[in-house]
Structure 1
Amino acid sequence: MEPIVQLKNLSKTIKGKQIIDQLTLDLYPGQITGFLGPNGAGKTTTIRMMTGLMHPTAGEVIIDGQSLTEHYEEAISKVGVIVENPEMYKFMSGYKNLLHFARMHKNVSKERINEVVRQVGLENRINEKVSTYSLGMRQRLGLAQALLHHPKFLILDEPTNGLDPAGIREFRQYLRQIAENEGVSVFVSSHLLSEIELMCDRIAIIQNGRLIDLREMNQDTATVYYVEATPTVEASAVLDELSISYKVNGSGLELDVEKQQIPAIVTTLVNRNIHVYAVQPKQQTLEDQFLEMTGGGQIAEANTK
């Protein structure tokens, strides 16, 4: 599958300070990619360069095969953006806001406006003034506005700020439908790690302006497995014989092993008349992984390179 967006050795230096350092990343249609990093890591600078609001010192942004620097209008026409809480004309209805934004793009018909209104579930309130909308409804209207021109790439910077749990879940469902049904590549920057974990297909983690990790969210990261087995003392003795690293945890044992070793270990335990009741991976949460990779997630130190 060809990427919709390519960041190629993207770098940015401001007043002699390296903010972004040779960032390379491909973004694909139909995928939601989370963009994470500690405060000061360079997330906002990256997004500004991806939207043409800031020129890179080196490298380039390619959108649907076109350089954002050399062919700005053509490239940016494929992009939709929501930055935190979208600003709307509150004295106008939701529909008139969309009509106004539609005039900024070519060939956005009234049928398309009605289509995105249905997509974000605002049919019953679209003709009411935005001043009467809840924050969640304004977010949905902002999403509709970003989708008007059939973008292939959608950038969201802290899109669920201020939303309650129901609103966050609703917004997440809309994004998933848009990615899967229309093949849009969605790029989400957020500090809500639990939400990123539920929303995204993969995550890119940046620190000190460098990409330090890129992983699929369904990737099996477990190397510790919890085995509930009795008698525990005898089970421990068997693991000692097998030179398996473990520690006792309650009525079970935590084994530091690879997944493919588990069947042989369980078979050996059972053959020694040890009762095995459960085996389950001890997964790290995204928060655990993030803090481990970024050294605690503190504000990034200045890069003196």
Structure 2
Amino acid sequence: MEQAVVIANLSKQFKNGRGIRNISFSINQGEIIGILGPNGAGKTTLLKCMTGLRNPDSGRVTLFGNDLQKNFKQAITPVSALIGPTAAYENMTPDQNLKMISRLYNGIKKADIDKVLQQTGLIAFKNEKIHSFSMGMKQRFGIATTLISKPRLIILDEPTNGLDIDGLLLLRKTIQEVSQNEGVTFVISSHHISELEKICHRFCFLINGEASFYDANTQSLEEAYVEKMGRS
């Protein structure tokens, strides 16, 4: 099976002592990986290093066989990410925003835009201006922007923030279907164990900048997380 992501000895430290230290792992194409950890554990730092938004102090990120630092364009082309607040022209509609984004890619059709709006529950609001949206609806739009380019890898940082129950259920369904039907790999960070447990194939604990994977055969995810937190 093709490896979508290879992280090798990745480190990024800040003056306040936070960051990530000597992280190594790999992700196969089509996997859904959950990155779990408390606030300030280094989850966002890791994801930014995986997308080139931050340069690591040391180590390497390889995406679909391409080194991110040496071959950035080739490495990042099949990747889409939502890290931080959703970026949108709020005086425009979701449909208008996605049409503008689609110009950056080849072969994106009107049907593709309608598809991602349907997947994220925004098709009924496609002609309403985004400034009228709730926080949860803006988050749904952000997820729509990650789907429109038909990526092979989608990286989501705290995607459940602001979502109501309907939004959570729809997000879960969309991720599972896109992974299963289109073979898309997902890396999802969160501190909400219950949500990630429902959709992810594997879990990485990131605590105090250090990573370890959860073994589902030994104990429950919550028990393993609590134990790991107690040891850190």
Q: Could you state the TM-score of these two structures normalised by the residue count of structure 2?
A: 0.90
Cα distance in 2, alignment partners of residues 147 and 126 from structure 1: 16
Contact 2:140 2:167 in 1 (8 A): no
Structure 1 pair 38–102 and aligned structure 2 pair: CA distance change class (3 A) = same
Correspondence 1:231-270 to 2 at 5 A: none
Structure 1 pair 58–98 and aligned structure 2 pair: CA distance change class (3 A) = same
Deviations 1:74-101, CA, capped at 9 Å, x for gaps:
2111111112541322211110010122
Cα distance in 2, alignment partners of residues 79 and 99 from structure 1: 19
Shift of 1:145: 1.0
* Paired residue type of 1:292: E
The answer to whether 1:221 aligns with 2:218 is yes
* Paired residue type of 1:8: A
Cα distance in 1, alignment partners of residues 187 and 112 from structure 2: 23
Contact 1:84 1:159 in 2 (8 A): no
The answer to whether 1:86 aligns with 2:86 is yes
Cα distance in 2, alignment partners of residues 11 and 23 from structure 1: 7
Of 187, 212, 223, 1:288 maps to 223
Deviations 1:44-82, CA, capped at 9 Å, x for gaps:
211110110111121111111101101112211111111
Contact 1:85 1:161 in 2 (8 A): no
Larger of the two Rg values belongs to structure? 1
Shift of 1:114: 2.9
Partner of 1:260: none
Contact 1:157 1:189 in 2 (8 A): yes
Calculate the aligned-residue CA RMSD, in Å.
2.2
My pick for the range that moved more, 46-55 or 114-123, is: 114-123
The answer to whether 1:152 aligns with 2:152 is yes
SS in structure 2 of the partner of residue 12 of structure 1:
strand
**Percent pairwise identity:** 38
Correspondence 1:188-199 to 2 at 5 A: 188-199=188-199
Deviations 1:233-283, CA, capped at 9 Å, x for gaps:
xxxxxxxxxxxxxxxxxxxxxxxxxxxxxxxxxxxxxxxxxxxxxxxxxxx
Cα distance in 1, alignment partners of residues 39 and 130 from structure 2: 32
Bigger relative contact order, structure 1 or 2 (CA pairs below 8 A, ≥6 apart): 2
Correspondence 1:266-281 to 2 at 5 A: none
Paired residues in the alignment total 232
Cα distance in 2, alignment partners of residues 288 and 17 from structure 1: 27
Partner of 2:208: 208
Contact 1:6 1:25 in 2 (8 A): yes
Cα distance in 2, alignment partners of residues 154 and 65 from structure 1: 16
Which 5+ residue runs of structure 2 have no aligned equivalent? none
Contact 1:88 1:97 in 2 (8 A): yes
Which 5+ residue runs of structure 1 have no aligned equivalent? 223-283, 301-305
Q: Could you state the TM-score of these two structures normalised by the residue count of structure 1?
A: 0.70
Contact 1:84 1:156 in 2 (8 A): no
